Amino acid sequence: MHAKPVVRQATASDAPAVQAIMNAIPWIAESAKTEEGFERTKSACGRGEVWIVEDNSVIASTMTLTKDSLAASCGYKIWLIRLIATIETARRKGHARRLIHKAKEIVDDGALTAHVQNDDSSALVSSEGFVLVEGQADAAGYPLYEWTRNAS
Ligand SMILES: CC(C)(COP(=O)(O)OP(=O)(O)OC[C@H]1O[C@@H](n2cnc3c(N)ncnc32)[C@H](O)[C@@H]1OP(=O)(O)O)[C@@H](O)C(=O)NCCC(=O)NCCS
């Protein structure tokens, strides 16, 4: 029987599977795919910043979610989805959407943001009620999208 996909926080032992998902994405910087990059992924898992969808014992999708500590020191709750990705064979099954729902739960009444890097992720965040924040592209030119509970 096919059990329901589970969303859970990754642990350091999930880091190889998380890294494998990242390594399969062509546009991710080569520096992120090195041994050092893997150590960073493992540390992020250890810090509880990485969430995954496990479907029938396979880690199918991953999301790295961090809180902006500078904004937090000024009393603002702003969270950033640094990466969201699903293995190619498990796309369009709602896994990334499951992770975004988890992020919304964590962020609660704060702001959830993401720099959108392509049409697929643009379609994903738009379908989840994110809106474009004008003039807030990152250094690579990727536009910033934002979701807040009250606005949706
Ligand atoms: C973008 C990505 C994370 C989506 O993952 P996914 O698990 O397939 O997404 P979901 O199945 O949850 O899709 C949810 C919604 O997003 C939109 N969407 C996702 N992929 C899409 C695509 N290829 N074309 C159009 N819309 C898409 C749709 O609205 C979809 O809902 P629907 O299937 O009911 O129409 C996945 O394509 C991916 O890993 N791409 C490579 C990595 C990447 O570019 N990450 C984003 C930048 S950080």
- Indicate left, alpha or beta for 141 from its phi (over 0: left) and psi (-120 to 50: alpha): left
Which parts of 4-94 fold into alpha helices (H)? 15-23, 35-46, 69-73
Say what the pLDDT of residue 15 is. 98
Say what the pLDDT of residue 58 is. 96
User: Nearest residue CA, atom 24 of ligand 1?
Assistant: 120
Distance between CA atoms of 21 and 70, rounded to whole angstroms?
29
What is the pLDDT confidence band of residue 56, given thresholds at 50, 70 and 90?
very high
Distance between CA atoms of 85 and 93, rounded to whole angstroms?
12
What is the pLDDT confidence band of residue 111, given thresholds at 50, 70 and 90?
very high
Say what the pLDDT of residue 13 is. 97
What H or E segment, with its residue span, contains residue 37? Answer: helix 35-46
Q: How far is the CA of 144 from the centre of ligand 1 (A)?
A: 17
Look up the CATH architecture of domain 6-148: 3-Layer(aba) Sandwich (3.40)
What is the β-pairing status of strands 50-55 and 144-148? unpaired
Q: Please identify, by atom number, the ligand 1 atom nearest to the C-alpha of residue 118.
A: 44
Residues with CB under 6 A from ligand 1: 25, 61, 83-86, 91-97, 117-118, 120-121, 123-124, 127
Say what the pLDDT of residue 17 is. 98
What is the pLDDT confidence band of residue 3, given thresholds at 50, 70 and 90?
confident
CB 18 within 8 A of CB 62: yes
Distance between CA atoms of 66 and 112, rounded to whole angstroms?
10
pLDDT at 152 over 80: no
pTM of the model: 0.96
Say what the pLDDT of residue 38 is. 97
Q: How far is the CA of 70 from the centre of ligand 1 (A)?
A: 30
Residue 44 DSSP SS3: helix
Neighbours of 12 (CB within 10 A): 15
